[in-house]
Amino acid sequence: MDKKNIKLRCDHTFPILILLFGCIAIFPIIISKYSISLLGIIWETCCGLIIFTGVWRFEHFEISGDTLTKVNLGGLYRKDLNMCHITRYTKKVIDMNHFWNPFNIIKLFSKEKKYFKFRTIKLQATDNLIMIINERNMHSEDFKKLYHIICVLNKF
């Protein structure tokens, strides 16, 4: 692969929705008198974990030469994977288009089906480093481009 830098565009819809669910769930307990009780503290902790998951989902990917970099938390956490050392990769299609899915609220403001039927790529390198790439966190064209680059570099 030629030594060029590619920064893949990220999609913020799914992380923002997770953050909204966490904030909506934590708001009533914070303003109530039960926020200092044991149940309130447990509820706040669970909602805090949901909010942290939403913040963690703000991720983007960069390709620099043969290195794929996954960046989370605004650059605080970086994971580098040399694409020449990939021993195995699997692509999986996950269908979550169910009536009881709480993320069905996305259908109100987005017509994209990638939030309900999406693809993931699991990359495994020689040093047992595993990186999972989720289509919901990036634009579909960039996901196709990344998958094509991985396939070209790893002809088995």
The per-residue DSSP string of the chain comes to ----EEEEPB--HHHHHHHHHHHHHHHHHHHSGGGGSHHHHHHHHHHHHHHHHHHHT--EEEEETTEEEEEEGGGTEEEEEEGGGEEEEEEEEEE---TT-GGGGGGGT---STTTEEEEEEEEETTS-EEEEEGGGB-HHHHHHHHHHHHHHT--
Boundaries of every domain in the chain: 5-11+58-153
Say which CATH topology domain 5-11+58-153 has: PH-domain like (2.30.29)
pLDDT band at 131 (very low <50, low <70, confident <90, very high): very high
* pLDDT at site 54: 92
Q: Is the pTM of this model over 0.75?
A: yes
pLDDT digits (tens, 9 = 90+) for 86-122: 888 999 998 877 777 777 777 777 777 777 888 999 9
Tell me the per-residue pLDDT of 60-95, one tens digit each, with 9 for 90 and over. 899 988 889 999 987 899 999 988 888 889 999 988
